[in-house]
Amino acid sequence: MTWRVLSKFNLQTHAVNVALFLSIPIIGLLDGLGAGRVRLTAFFLIPIMLITWRLGRVPGYLATLAALVILWIVSFVEKPSGTDTLLFALDAAGRFISFFIIVAILSRSRGLYLQQKTIATRDPLTNLYNRLGLQEILGVEMENSRRYGRPFAVLFLDCDNFKKINDQWGHQVGDQLLQAVAQTLIASVRRRDVASRLGGDEFVVFVGDIGEVDVPQLIHKIKANLDTAMRARQWPVTFSIGASIFESTPETVADVIDFADSLMYETKRAGKDGLRSAKWQARWR
C-alpha cells in the first residue's frame, strides 16, 4: 500500500479498536440503567470476542477484565439486601471463568487461523510471499491504484544459470542462493514494498507509489546489490530483470505479472544479465 493509504487504513483500524473498548462501559451503563429488569451480560461478549479476534489474547483478557469489573460494580449496586454473599461471589466467579474460557478458545482459533494463512501465502524456503500471497496483495494494491490514481511498478527477476548451481554444487547451495537473493531484495526496497518468490528461481517485487522517472534508479540499485551478493559468495549467477511501470491500472493481476514477465524474457533473449523497463499501456495483452 502507499504510505497515505496505509496511514488512513491504520487510523480507521485504530478507531474501530477504540470503539470496541468504549462499547464495554457503554453496555455496562445500559445494564445499570435497566435496574435488573433486563440483563445485558451476554452483550459484553460481542466486543470481547471482536477485540480478541482483531488484537489477540492479551487485549481480549484486558477487555474481559474490564467487563467483569463493570458487571461486578453494577451487580453489587443492584444487589438486594439480604442476598447471600457466597452466592453472589459464585455468580461473579462463574462469569469470570466462562468469559476467560471463551477468550482462550477464540485466541487459540485465531492463532491457528493466522498460522494456516501464513503457511498458505508464504514461501517456506525464503519466507517471502509466494504466488498466492502476491496475487492477494496485488489485488488490493491495484484497487488502491484505481481509487487514488497512484502509479506503481512490478519487477520480475530470474536467476541466470541457476540450474548450473544445483547441478554442480547441489541443491543445498541452490537453496542458500535463493535465500541470499530474498534477503538482498528485502534489504534493497522500502519496508512497505513487497518481495515474493513465484517458484523456482523467479522473484517478483511490488513497488508502490513510484513513477517512471524513479524506476531505473531502483532496478539498477537492486541489480547491483544482487550482483555484489553473488560475487561475495563466488556464485556464477547473474540476473535478468523486467521492470513494468503502471501509471494506469490493468484489469487483472495476471496482466500485471504477465507484462513484467514478458520484459524479463526480452532481457533473456538479448543475452541475459540485463534490465528492461517499460510503461504498461492498456492495449498491451
Active site residues: 201
Question: Do 247 and 193 contact (CB within 8 A), yes or no?
Answer: no
The upper half-sphere exposure of residue 85, i.e. CA atoms within 13 Å in the direction of its Cβ, equals: 0
d(CA 104, CA 176): 39
Could you give the residue ranges of the DSSP H alpha helices within 56-84? 57-78
Q: Is the dihedral of CA 82, 84, 88, 91 positive or negative?
A: negative
N-term to C-term CA, the chain: 25
DSSP track, 243-275: EEEESS--SSHHHHHHHHHHHHHHHHHTTSSEE
Residue type, 157: L
247's grid cell: 501509471
DSSP letter (8 states) at residue 200:
T
Give the rounded distance of the alpha carbon of 183 from its chain centre. Answer: 18
| Tally of residues, the chain | 285
d(CA 233, CA 191): 26
Burial tier of 65 (Cβ tally within 10 Å: 0-12, 13-18, 19+) = middle
